[in-house]
Amino acid sequence: MPVSNSSRIVITGIGAVTPVGVGRDATWENLLAGRSGISEVESFDTARYNVHRGGEIKGFDPAPHLRRLDPSKVGRASQLAIAAAHEALDDAGFGAGTGRDPARCGVAMGTTSGEPREVERFDDRYLAGELAAVGAEFMDLYPCHVIAGHVASEIGFSGVNTMIPAACAAGNYAVAHAYDVLRAGRADVMLAGGADSFSRITYTGFYRLGAIAPERCQPFDKNRQGMMPGEGAAVLVLERAEDAEARGARIYAEVAGYGLSCDAHHMTAAHPEGDGAARAMLAALAHSGHRPDQISYVSAHGTGTPTNDKLETRAQYRVFGDAARRTPMSSIKSMIGHTMGAASAIESAVCALAVATDRIPPTTNFEEPDPECDLDCVPNAARRIVVRAAMNNAYAFGGNNASVIFQKYT
């Protein structure tokens, strides 16, 4: 179906599963209240580590959320993604079906690690000399592409299906891809988001990098000691504005534009001058037609590591100039940890909700200002402001950067 590439793309449904809540409303209200989802790790034994905390989703039962697939044959990241996808579709008013050709409905998901718990199970069996016990179903469980495939299979969407393993920026990449697919007329409805599960592999990797904080994540605080691994999923329903209006859908926000870049500098270290991050923000501003002083709120990447927060601040000043100090920029990673490939998807959901409700979540655990991070990080308490436009920034390993701008739909 030919569609004008000037079509406006809007968000009509949101679903989320995070360490502070199973469901969009629980997640949003707990973030606004500044509640922490960080606790002692329970999914594996951390006795051999010198850090023991993380952002796990406690008490999540996949069975009520999987209506077609067998939970025992679906990995945890896929389970979280499916739960978020169902909630997003129900929220958009599509619970009984979209009324569209399934071949015109697609999925774009991001991840960092795919289904690492399945790899861990394989490793455990291999080390125990039980390789013969690894069945053929292993190939249906562990590759990262199965997350988008499982969502599509569960929902029944047979159109565009894309898995983007762009690490911590993957959720933003998925939203950008869905935006392009809809504007090109290659789909009528897109599910876009990200998912990652808490895993021994990921935890060990960041532990060996010396990046995990011992007790809590303190983005932009002078005494910050590192990030906190987490898990989660978020899915957005995207469609063309004219289609949403025609069916009387509630519109949370419009996807105004995006920008992508690569530092091309180092696999784990950000560019020392924040070059790639700045270029992604500038590209998003140009694509959306916004000036820096028209951005009401910035959802920071805000990992809480000493170097990254400083470089993110530097990039913010390169793009926003004097407006950087006046523009609220908070990090929800202070409450849910770094949910890897789900991070910017959850933060996209937060930006859409901020635009819709004129409320922005805080950066918690903030105690002492850092002269090298002299921004308004919305310390410790949510804030009510008019959010006309929100920018979501994500900066990933490999130097992958993605910024997406959401605005009020009028």
pLDDT tens sequence across 193-209: 999 999 999 999 999 99
Give the mean pLDDT of the chain: 93
- Is residue 216 within 8 Å of 38, Cβ to Cβ? yes
Asked, for residue 252, whether it belongs to a domain, the answer is: no
Asked, for residue 185, whether it belongs to a domain, the answer is: yes
Q: How confident is the model at residue 268 (pLDDT cuts 50, 70, 90)?
A: low
In a shared domain, residues 226 and 142: yes
- Identify the CATH number of the domain in which residue 50 sits: 3.40.47.10
In a shared domain, residues 334 and 379: yes
Cβ burial, residue 255 (10 Å; 0-12/13-18/19+): buried
| pLDDT at 4 exceeding the cut of 70 | no
In a shared domain, residues 276 and 235: no
* Cβ neighbours, 10 Å, residue 291: 11
- Is residue 308 within 8 Å of 395, Cβ to Cβ? yes
In a shared domain, residues 287 and 172: no
Share of the chain above pLDDT 90, in %: 83
| pLDDT at res. 317 | 96
Asked, for residue 311, whether it belongs to a domain, the answer is: yes
- Is residue 156 within 8 Å of 95, Cβ to Cβ? no
In a shared domain, residues 172 and 295: no
The CA-CA-CA angle for residues 193, 198, 203, to 5°, reads 120
> What's the pLDDT tens digit per position in 288-345?
999 999 999 999 999 999 999 999 999 999 999 999 999 999 999 999 999 999 999 9
| pLDDT at res. 347 | 98
| pLDDT at res. 1 | 39
Catalytic residues: 168, 301, 338
Q: What is the DSSP letter of 312?
A: H
Asked, for residue 2, whether it belongs to a domain, the answer is: no
In a shared domain, residues 85 and 132: yes
| pLDDT at res. 117 | 86
Q: Which of 221, 246, 271 is the last residue of a domain?
A: 246
Give the contacts of 346 (CB within 8 A, at least 6 positions apart): 16, 18, 27, 171, 194, 232, 233, 234, 332, 336, 339
> What's the pLDDT tens digit per position in 28-85?
999 999 999 999 999 999 999 999 999 999 999 999 999 999 998 999 999 999 999 9
Q: Structural domain of residue 122, as residue ranges? A: 9-246
Instruction: Please give the tally of structural domains in the chain.
Output: 2
Asked, for residue 396, whether it belongs to a domain, the answer is: yes
In a shared domain, residues 110 and 197: yes
In a shared domain, residues 240 and 263: no
- Is residue 79 within 8 Å of 118, Cβ to Cβ? no
Q: Which of 211, 246, 281 is the last residue of a domain?
A: 246
Asked, for residue 1, whether it belongs to a domain, the answer is: no
Asked, for residue 382, whether it belongs to a domain, the answer is: yes
Q: Which of 246, 277, 310 is the last residue of a domain?
A: 246
- Is residue 246 within 8 Å of 220, Cβ to Cβ? no
In a shared domain, residues 225 and 139: yes
| pLDDT at 139 exceeding the cut of 90 | no
Distances (CA, A) of 80 to 131, 218, 235, 261, 356: 28, 26, 10, 28, 24
> What's the pLDDT tens digit per position in 200-253?
999 999 999 999 999 999 999 999 999 999 999 999 999 999 999 999 999 999
Q: How confident is the model at residue 150 (pLDDT cuts 50, 70, 90)?
A: very high
In a shared domain, residues 292 and 401: yes
| pLDDT at res. 5 | 62
> What's the pLDDT tens digit per position in 82-96?
999 999 999 999 976
In a shared domain, residues 77 and 218: yes
Asked, for residue 176, whether it belongs to a domain, the answer is: yes
- Which residue in this structure is represented by tokens 């701008």? 405
| pLDDT at res. 269 | 67
In a shared domain, residues 305 and 242: no
